[in-house]
Amino acid sequence: MSEPAVIEVQGLCMAFGSNVIQRDLDFRVERGDIFVIMGGSGCGKSTLLRHLLGLLRPASGDILYSGESFVRASQDRRAAMRRRWGITYQSGGLFSAMTLGQNIALPLQLYTRYSAGEIRDIVDYKLSLVGLGGYQDYLPAQISGGMRKRGALARAIALDPEILFFDEPSAGLDPISSRLLDELILQLKESLGATVVMVTHELDSIFAIATNSVYLDAASRTRIAGGDPRWLRDHSEQPVVRQFLSRELAPAGDAQSE
């Protein structure tokens, strides 16, 4: 039998009361993918990410991690599954009153039995991996936005996660910083052997690093395309997908879900 997908979404319906955001979502994230969740404004990209992280409960359907249901799992099992993940948020999410070193040490203090000296060595190593060696004692407010993003990434990889989740990792960055962050994500994926899932609308990032994707359509409220974004840009049967990935304007009168 083939190895189960790292993440498998089955018949997922996301709704707030009677307001359905997306329905009938089915897709797989394979080991080693850099998987992008994409679509137009209001389609439910960040909502889907919150469902994958267990911050929201599906109206129906299931989410499996390596073949195990996350939705139906006990609280203890869900906590154990989460410890295999690393997460960075759009704003970075670093604790402002803690230094970079303290931010990165926190998950190690909470979830491992390493000594203080061992944790210090791991913090130094993780910061060096993201190009922030020597910045252990800086507060988030004392460094640039791009450096805060890298600091958040260092914290996300503190426990050597199997899956890395990113919410708009390049948001607010200049083009050079954004490209450097893309290159860093690629390097960390290779060094950790991790699978990456990210929400982004940045085409440069999508085409530079993504290997797989799902496109959520706001009009039909379901997935209308999936696969390598480069192939979808050139060959998708859905005009709205090709328009999104080439940043073309839809001809007047075209329906978004055509």
Q: Is 191 exposed, middle or buried (0-12, 13-18, 19+ CB in 10 A)?
A: exposed
pLDDT higher than 50, residue 256: no
**For residue 1, what pLDDT is reported?**
55
| pLDDT at 202 (0 to 100) | 85
Residue-level pLDDT at 93: 82
Whether the per-residue pLDDT at 254 is higher than 70: the answer is no
How does pLDDT run across 94-134, given as a tens digit for each residue? 999 999 999 999 999 999 999 999 999 999 999 998 889 99
Mean pLDDT for all residues in the chain: 90
Q: Is pLDDT above 90 for 173?
A: no
Whether the CB-CB separation of 33 and 6 falls below 8 Å is answered with: yes
**Among 213, 115, 124, 108, CA closest to 161:** 108
Q: Which residues pair with 38 in a beta bridge?
A: 215
> What is the share, in percent, of the chain residues with pLDDT greater than 70?
95
**Number of residues assigned to the chain:** 258
Q: Where are the beta strands (DSSP E) in the chain?
A: 7-16, 19-29, 34-39, 60-65, 68-69, 85-88, 163-167, 195-199, 212-217, 222-226
DSSP code string of 186-221:
HHHHHHHT-EEEEE---HHHHHHH-SEEEEEETTTT
For 45-88, what is each residue's pLDDT tens digit? 999 999 999 999 999 999 999 999 999 999 999 999 999 999 98
- Look at residue 100 and give its three-state secondary structure: helix
pLDDT of residue 179: 87
Residue 62, strand partner residues:
10
162: confidence class by pLDDT, cuts 50, 70, 90:
very high
Q: pTM to 2 decimals?
A: 0.88
Per-residue pLDDT tens digits for 20-48: 999 999 999 999 999 999 998 889 999 99
CB 86 within 8 A of CB 157: yes
Of all residues in the chain, the percent with pLDDT exceeding 90 is 72
| 191 — pLDDT class (breaks 50, 70, 90) | confident
In the chain, the amino acid numbered 138 is Y
